[in-house]
Chain A
Amino acid sequence: MKINNLGYLIKEGIRGIFLHGFMSFAAVCVTVACLLIVGTFSSLMYNLSIMVEDLNKTNEIMVYVDENLSDAEARSIGTYINRIENVQQATFVSREQALEDFVAEYGESNIFDGTDASYLRHRFSVTLVDNHLLEETTQAIRGISGVADISAAYELAEGFSTLQDVLQIASVVVVTVLLIVSLLIISNTVKLAMYDRRDEIAVMKMVGATNGFIRLPFVVEGFILGMLGAAVAFAAEWIMYDALVGRINAVDSLKLFSFVPFTQMMLPMVATFAAAGLFVGVVGSWTSIRKFMDV
């Protein structure tokens, strides 16, 4: 392909967009709609998985130390707990500290009035690397001498793990399905646009244009449409996301949900949208034009 044709190709591509304005508009709309759905879904998934992770972090195990041990002996157990593979962090909480925490938490009532710290045991607050291995890890901690008891929120931890698994599988499935659907719709839209221009293609074939040359303006057109769709979708996603998060934060005074700012997801989203737009535009037009080539 001679380089002096580049200008022609781009001009033809852009001309095609305006010449078949309605089809182009439809193609861009479909791209935008699909990318918006994919984008919204992925950003929700991303936020949920971050929230689950945050919840997971607060999901700690309490390891109670034998009350007959001295303070120093009790503290030294932390070294052994930290040595267990799946333990992320074991933090010593003295019985005095524990009482203070309780009082602080339930300050309104006076159930702890007159309670002496000696009623409580020294303890470690332990967080895990992987909550799936909760049972194995508690077994291991139980094996350490000086550990009297363990309280772990088995059910809560398991619930979080399951939720995370489900979210992960669901997001992969939904995003895959949506991408396939949008590719099909766009390929079909481009096919219609091409059908619209079958006269031009027939003339080009008649005067001896090569198949590659006939295809290129359409591929350029598809590329521009895909990119346009990606850009519009990205801007809309940004506006939508900020509006949505703003509204939720306004209602959610208890701070049950925490959303990351859009800018934190911006780079991967730009990359994904651009790649999807490129793929959908170029692959869509390339496969559609094949049909018109056998003249």
Chain B
Amino acid sequence: MIEFTNVTKSYSVGTHALRGVTMQIEDGEFAFLVGPSGSGKSTIIKLITGELKPTSGTVHVNGYSLERIRKREVPYLRRTVGVVFQDFRLIETKTVYDNVAFAMRAIGARTREIRERVPYILELVGLETKSRRHPTELSGGEQQRLAIARALVNNPSTIIADEPTGNLDPARSYEIMTLLQEINNLGTTMLVVTHERDLVERFSKRVIAINEGVVVHDGMDGYYRL
């Protein structure tokens, strides 16, 4: 569960990225987070992953209280939250398979577990035939699938995607969003940041709209106003 209560965040004196955000996303939910550029979407994600601490208010994520989390607890919080970025952040020197396996090794998984789980995840995102390629030999949509596979492989209870379709054409964007929905259907909480109004309306899921650091709309019908 993700729970923000009266959260404010100021980067320095004067820049108020968030000005009192309150919202709650239940386990297993699918929600879009929308808003214009500079409205505070990425700031919310960084607060969820423990990259930033709130200036005031409380942030609870999967049982951790982020406003007072200890440094050495942050890795364990992050194992419950998979993050997908618009710019993928893949390791170009590693193959598709190794990019995914690397995320498992990073948290000390056994080789046998890795051998079993990586092919399963690659099949889930539709990359099973490209496991020996390198990221540069993949299309944009395939790279995004790989980034999703990596976020998924350690079986986090929550996945957060920051503009996962920003670089893709509409057809590819729709495929990626469908994939995220399928993953959500398997039980993973999904929070998707996007600019693409068409896509949001097509999926008619919960939409949290944010503008200038405050929540201006929170509804279930896929429609929103800013």
Contact B108 A207 (CB under 8 A): no
**Told that A206-B49, A208-B106 touch, could you supply 9 new A-B pairs with CB distance under 8 A?**
A2-B108, A199-B91, A203-B103, A206-B83, A207-B151, A208-B75, A209-B75, A210-B75, A211-B72
Given the known inter-chain contacts A199-B89, A200-B91, please indicate yes or no for A5 contacting B107, CB distance below 8 A: no
Contacting A at CB under 8 A, from B149-181, are 150-151, 154
A208 and B102 CA atoms in complex are apart in Å by 12
Contact of B72 among A199, A203, A204, A210 (CB under 8 A): A210
**Chain B minimum-CB-distance residue to A5:** B108
Contact of A295 among B51, B72, B76, B151 (CB under 8 A): B51
Contact B89 A202 (CB under 8 A): yes
Most buried by B among A4, A199, A203, A295: A203
Chain B: how many interface residues by the 8 Å CB criterion?
25
Chain A: how many interface residues by the 8 Å CB criterion?
21
Most buried by A among B49, B105, B154: B105
Contacting B at CB under 8 A, from A187-208, are 199-200, 202-208
Instruction: Name B residues whose Cβ lies closer than 8 Å to a Cβ of A.
Output: 49, 51, 72, 75-79, 82-83, 89, 91-93, 102-103, 105-108, 110-111, 150-151, 154
Contact B154 A206 (CB under 8 A): no
A199 and B77 CA atoms in complex are apart in Å by 21
Q: Beta-carbon contacts of A207-243 to B below 8 Å, as 1s and 0s?
A: 1111101100000000000000000000000000000
Shortest Cβ distance from A182 into chain B, in angstroms? 29
Inter-chain contacts of B150 with A (CB < 8 A): 203, 207
**Chain B minimum-CB-distance residue to A201:** B106
Inter-chain contacts of A5 with B (CB < 8 A): 108
Most buried by B among A199, A200, A208: A208
Shortest Cβ distance from B141 into chain A, in angstroms? 20
Contact of A208 among B77, B89, B92, B110 (CB under 8 A): B77
